[in-house]
């Protein structure tokens, strides 16, 4: 019974994500922004479904991916610079911006590092220092690529509203800080992985 439950676990993760995604698809703050933010998830989720039988990740990896995807869905619903509970929290702390986007970029590095590491160990079969170094470079590459795609999309699709859609909130170094947060998330997860491997 436990084995069957374990095999069905990725489906449970998918159902949870889809239910939350559907709820957050109802009356988003900015429908066009929501549409743009969901272009990559619309490719990534089907990719995981298609590759599930050939390359099944661990249940832990699917859990981490689900958490990250839910965080992204929340940002897409409210727009990353207008997440109400985060904005209220940072207003109390006298911050000038809603830092929810920083949280999600950090979460990308933190939550996605383990699934990427799993891929590197099982398919590429990297070991030792190179395993962690390649992990960091992959996360940084994805993070930088996302920033470039986001910028190009804003310029092409929303040239009159590019600054607002990018959510830089007046910070000219927003992209660099987002990439730094992703790297920080990866480094913290790497520390956890190193501690775990020592036990």
> Band of the pLDDT at 123, cuts 50, 70, 90?
confident
Burial class (CB in 10 A: 0-12, 13-18, 19+), 129: exposed
The number of folded domains in the chain is: 1
Residue 52 has pLDDT above 70, yes or no: yes
> Band of the pLDDT at 1, cuts 50, 70, 90?
very low
**Range 183-186, long-range pairs (CB < 8 A, 24+ positions):** 183/109, 183/136, 183/139, 183/140, 183/143, 184/106, 184/109, 185/105, 185/106, 185/107, 185/108, 185/109, 185/110, 185/111, 185/113, 185/139, 186/109, 186/110, 186/113, 186/135, 186/136, 186/139, 186/140
Residue span of the structural domain in which 63 resides: 2-198
Please state, in angstroms and rounded to a whole number, the distance separating the CA atoms of residues 24 and 18.
10
Q: What is the mean pLDDT of residues 117-137?
A: 85
Residue 28 has pLDDT above 50, yes or no: yes
Residue 144 has pLDDT above 50, yes or no: yes
The single-letter DSSP state of residue 199 is -
Count other C-beta atoms under 10 Å from residue 73's C-beta: 22
Q: What is the mean pLDDT of residues 143-160?
A: 78
Please state, in angstroms and rounded to a whole number, the distance separating the CA atoms of residues 10 and 49.
9
pLDDT higher for 161 or 72? 72
Angle made by CA atoms 102, 187, 197, in degrees to the nearest 5: 140
pTM of the model as a whole: 0.85
Integer angstrom CA distances of residue 103 from 113, 172, 179 = 15, 18, 11
pLDDT, averaged across the chain: 84
Contacts of 9 (CB under 8 A, 6+ apart): 59, 62
Encoded tokens for 19: 């239910």
Q: What is the mean pLDDT of residues 45-71?
A: 94
Please state, in angstroms and rounded to a whole number, the distance separating the CA atoms of residues 17 and 44.
13
The single-letter DSSP state of residue 29 is S
Q: What is the pLDDT of residue 66?
A: 97
Q: What is the mean pLDDT of residues 64-84?
A: 91
Least confident of 1-5, 27-31, 74-78, 192-196: 1-5
Q: What is the mean pLDDT of residues 91-110?
A: 77
Least confident of 12-26, 96-110, 176-190: 96-110
Contact (CB, 8 A) for 82 and 57:
no
> Band of the pLDDT at 93, cuts 50, 70, 90?
very low
């Amino acid at each position: 019974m436990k084995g069957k439950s374990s095999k069905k676990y990725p489906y449970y993760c998918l159902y949870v994500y889809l239910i939350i995604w559907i709820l957050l698809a109802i009356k988003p703050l900015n429908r066009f922004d929501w549409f743009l933010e969901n272009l990559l998830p619309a490719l990534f989720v089907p990719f995981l479904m298609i590759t599930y039988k050939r390359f099944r990740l661990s249940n832990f990896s699917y859990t981490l991916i689900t958490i990250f995807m839910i965080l992204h869905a929340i940002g897409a619903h409210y727009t990353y610079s207008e997440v109400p509970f985060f904005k209220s929290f940072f207003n109390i702390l006298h911050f000038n911006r809603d830092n929810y986007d920083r949280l999600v970029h950090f979460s990308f590095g933190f939550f996605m590092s383990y699934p990427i590491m799993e891929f590197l160990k099982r398919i590429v079969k990297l070991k030792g220092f190179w395993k962690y170094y390649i992990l960091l470079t992959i996360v940084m590459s994805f993070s930088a690529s996302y920033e470039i795609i986001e910028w190009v999309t804003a310029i092409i699709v929303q040239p009159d509203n590019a600054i607002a859609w990018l959510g830089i909130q007046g910070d000219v170094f927003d992209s660099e800080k987002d990439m730094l947060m992703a790297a920080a998330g990866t480094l913290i997860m790497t520390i956890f992985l190193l501690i775990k491997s020592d036990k």
